[in-house]
Structure 1
Amino acid sequence: MRVKLGDVCERGTSNLKLSDVSEKNGEFSVFGASGYIGSVDFYQQGYPYVAVVKDGAGIGRAMLCPGKTSVIGTMQYLLPKDNILPKYLFYVVKYMNLEKYFTGATIPHIYFKDYKNEEFNFDFWERQVEIVSVLSKCEKVIDLCKQELQLLDKLIKARFVELFGDPVSNSYGLPEATLPDLGEFGRGVSKHRPRNDIKLLGGKYPLIQTGDVANAGLYITSYSSTYSELGLKQSKMWDKGTLCITIAANIAKTAILEFDACFPDSVVGFIANERTNNIFVHYWFSFFQAILESQAPESAQKNINLKILSELKVIVPEKRKQDQFASFVKLTDKSKVAVQKALDEAQLLFDSLMQEYFG
């Protein structure tokens, strides 16, 4: 049966501000866009409900909240009627991707009046129970896979510190050198203006952007843009195995090319010499990324220049230990690939079930 969202829930509002919650110490939780933010000695909703971010960052994101809790004013209450389970309502709202209803440029907003008429497939109570059970099990698998990936990342960092100490303070007192001393080092090339000229694109030569690096793991295994012959002529092809380092928008994110590719001057390429290896340098950067990003000047977008990168002091342990660490990373990465595959399959199943149940 097709129904509208407004048929199964009612809108509720909150006038709570962060200042109403900070430094309070009650027994009733208050939630914001990123989750729990504090506790107070009162609550606005006595029964479970769905909360939607209606203002600012994360707009349209939904969360299921327990009874005897509240949200701050940037959130919207969706209060389930008697004909729908709260968690079923949560999955419905999640399926709808409400961020598409946003208005406003500086501070985006969404309004209940704009999305309350969106339709979805609605099932009877017993079927709702079944659907919630299936989707909950899928989400549990997804969460477990994500946790396992996080643990494997922590394991690699722990092994790095065990072998080389804290790279920020150089706690083991290891020799240091700059990236230009440790290999080939230079910015990507994109001479033509405008950079997005259609004549440059659509050929057979892979083009890597900052987002491709930031969204990769250890290796860049895919690409979404390509250069034409003209695009290649005004750029430079970097070899497979090159470490890509972002210096604009996404700061000091790194990943290793799994294929020959071009990239613009918002990405720096590094190819290690005999003193180091790219896997070691990739993980060395992981300890400094947040520091470099916080120090990056911001105009239209954050950026750092080649000079800053070229003057960084990289610890240089004996090559044997670096290679030992790289072998450990490659072994662990095989486990990560298997877990990521399971995660992708679970997410695909979850998405297809959401479409089947509500679409």
Structure 2
Amino acid sequence: MNFAKYYTGATIPHIYFKDYQKEIIHLLPLDKQCLIAAVLNKVSDLIALRKQQLAKLDELVKSQFVEMFGDPIKNPMGWKMRKLGDLSVQINSGNTPKGGEQVYVEKGIVFFRSQNVWKNRLEMEDIAYIDKATHQSMRRSSLKRGDILMTKTGRVNTENSSLGRAALYMGEDDAANVNGHVYFIRLKPEVNNKFILRILISDEYKNYIRSVCVGGIDKRQLNKNHIEDFPIICPSEDMIEQYVLFIEKVDKSKLTIQQSLDKLEIMKKALMQKYFG
């Protein structure tokens, strides 16, 4: 059923019951309706269960961190603290290519923008590409495997605050680049990037970032010196390795659940199409 023909208003489209109240709805027999509802409810319940399982695993990783290391900002366990800049080889943001979006190509060098960098994941659905010549002109921000990407600008007063989101780049060396709204943090070889990432995406660090960023009420920014001055706890290498092995094990479980979730969501879309067109 298409209600688009009833839309009114140019800026904000509206739809009113008086316009579509006489629309004819073709109903299946009641037993068929019940069967369809039961199937869709079963799939929806499984989707909700998988999401709950993922959320519980995320909480497990958080609780394990707190148990082993405490609050990474307040540092109640008294770990040695170092600035992120001292643990890094390079911290920089990229650039907007000359010509802006007009230089994007259908396939080429992956070009990360702030909308691609989320908490502990890189979203590829809306990814942009640049050609090799543009990439070469921006070689200063060419990515290396294991770089941490962090959003430079964004909002802070939302549940999924877009400022300071961080994720690992695990692609090939020099096969991707970033624009001017994304920092890349390249750590020294002896520094565990997965451990640093866990610190940066913690709830405590989210609040810390809110306290140091600059800008207006709605949209704010992290400057390079803010990131260089980020305080980082430095427990023993053995403890860090133990924790990283733990999260890698959890990540394997999450991957299995996520694959099941993806299949269920595809199945639901297919069923919706089958039943309702």
Give the TM-score band, short-chain normalised: 0.7 to 0.9
**Equivalent position amino acid for 2:201 in 1:** S
Q: Does residue 1:349 correspond to 2:272, yes or no?
A: no
Q: Does residue 1:210 correspond to 2:128, yes or no?
A: no
**247-256 vs 217-226, which deviates more?**
217-226
Q: Choose the corresponding residue for 1:281, options 184, 187, 196.
A: 196
| Residues 21-32 of structure 1 mapped to structure 2, 5 A cutoff | none
Q: Which residue of 2 aligns with 1:226?
A: 129
Cα distance in 2 for residues equivalent to 1:258 and 1:115? 51
Cα distance in 2 for residues equivalent to 1:121 and 1:271? 60
* TM-aligned CA distance change 1:228 to 1:119, over 3 Å: farther
Q: Which residue of 2 aligns with 1:145?
A: 50
Larger radius of gyration: 1
TM-score (norm. length: structure 2) = 0.82
Q: Which residue of 2 aligns with 1:55?
A: none
**Which runs of 5 or more structure 1 residues have no equivalent in the other structure?**
6-97
| Residues 49-64 of structure 1 mapped to structure 2, 5 A cutoff | none
SS of residue in 2 equivalent to 1:238: coil
Q: Does residue 1:257 correspond to 2:169, yes or no?
A: yes
TM-score (norm. length: structure 1) = 0.65
Q: Which residue of 2 aligns with 1:24?
A: none
Q: Which residue of 2 aligns with 1:88?
A: none
Q: Which residue of 2 aligns with 1:303?
A: 221
Give the structure with the higher percent helix: 2
* TM-aligned CA distance change 1:274 to 1:117, over 3 Å: farther
Cα distance in 2 for residues equivalent to 1:118 and 1:293? 50
Indicate conservation of the 8 Å contact 1:245/1:269, yes or no.
yes
Q: Choose the corresponding residue for 1:176, options 81, 87, 101.
A: 81
Cα distance in 2 for residues equivalent to 1:116 and 1:332? 51
**Equivalent position amino acid for 1:252 in 2:** G
Indicate conservation of the 8 Å contact 1:187/1:306, yes or no.
yes
Indicate conservation of the 8 Å contact 2:86/2:228, yes or no.
no
**180-189 vs 297-306, which deviates more?**
297-306
Q: Choose the corresponding residue for 1:315, options 226, 230, 233.
A: 233
Q: Does residue 1:112 correspond to 2:16, yes or no?
A: yes
Indicate conservation of the 8 Å contact 1:276/1:316, yes or no.
no
The Cα shift of 1:119 comes to 7.8
**Higher RCO (C-alpha under 8 Å, 6+ residues apart):** 2
The Cα shift of 1:358 comes to 1.0
| Residues 74-153 of structure 1 mapped to structure 2, 5 A cutoff | 108=12, 110-113=14-17, 122-153=27-58
* TM-aligned CA distance change 1:102 to 1:213, over 3 Å: farther
* TM-aligned CA distance change 1:118 to 1:181, over 3 Å: farther
Q: Which residue of 1 aligns with 2:255?
A: 337
Structural RMSD (CA): 2.9
**119-128 vs 179-188, which deviates more?**
119-128
SS of residue in 2 equivalent to 1:141: helix
Indicate conservation of the 8 Å contact 1:103/1:109, yes or no.
yes
The Cα shift of 1:152 comes to 0.5
| Residues 2-21 of structure 1 mapped to structure 2, 5 A cutoff | none
Indicate conservation of the 8 Å contact 1:175/1:317, yes or no.
yes
**Which runs of 5 or more structure 2 residues have no equivalent in the other structure?**
155-161
Indicate conservation of the 8 Å contact 2:152/2:182, yes or no.
yes
